[in-house]
Amino acid sequence: MKRHFLLIFLSWLLANLLGYGLGLGVALLLTAAFSLLPWVNQDRVLAPTGLLCIGLACGYAQSRTLRSLLPNLRRWMPATWIGYLLALLFILAVNLLRLGGQNDALLFAGIGAAIALPQWLLLRPHFRPAGLWVPAGALGFLAFLWLVANPASQIGAFLLAVALLGALAAVPSGLLLGWMVYRLRENFQARNNAV
């Protein structure tokens, strides 16, 4: 069983690494294409395009990982994309209220919580401790504080840093997911052995 836990955890990290890397890669290509238009500011397009592309890519990669664990989570990809859309709206609200730059940790925790919220709605019927999913998402996203302190000047370095930080941000949720599935299977086996 412990081997199964480790496999779930590593699969989750790999899904997030691929989701962030591919999503941001597509976003960079789209942003470069949009920047050919004279009225488009590349700096203003990258963040929303990046969040939405990463949301789709992560949602797809995560859903492939979850498919073997919980086959009835077909709505994981749209829920994840909605979470990234909520994160984008959260960032816009912070900017409109001029709260940005005051506390980057709260900003990143809010982004992680916004992404995790729709996912939690899908997990809660299956797992009793799913209430920890949103705090795990908030905690995980604090990994992106490293990028604030160490900005990348090259596109390749930025892409690699975001992909690695995306996998690092998935550590708390991956541990929680592995633990929840482990407990679910343990309870199922205990019930079957009792019958």
Domain range summary for the chain, segments of one domain joined by +: 2-194
pLDDT of residue 88: 93
Q: Which one-letter amino acid corresponds to residue 144?
A: F
Q: Give the Cα separation of 61 and 17 in Å (integer).
A: 9
Whether residue 190 has pLDDT greater than 70: no
Residue-wise pLDDT for 4-48, tens only, equals 888 999 999 999 999 999 999 999 999 999 888 888 777 788 889
CB 75 within 8 A of CB 122: yes
**What pLDDT is stored for residue 181 in this prediction?**
85
- Given a cut of 70, is residue 148 above it in pLDDT? yes
What confidence tens digit (pLDDT) does each residue in 72-130 have? 678 999 999 999 999 999 998 888 887 666 678 888 999 999 999 999 999 988 888 89
Q: 141 and 111 in contact (C-beta within 8 Å)? A: yes
Give the span between the Cα atoms of 192 and 195, in whole angstroms.
5
> What are the residues whose beta carbons fall under 8 Å from the beta carbon of 51, sequence distance 6 or more?
84, 85, 87, 88, 91
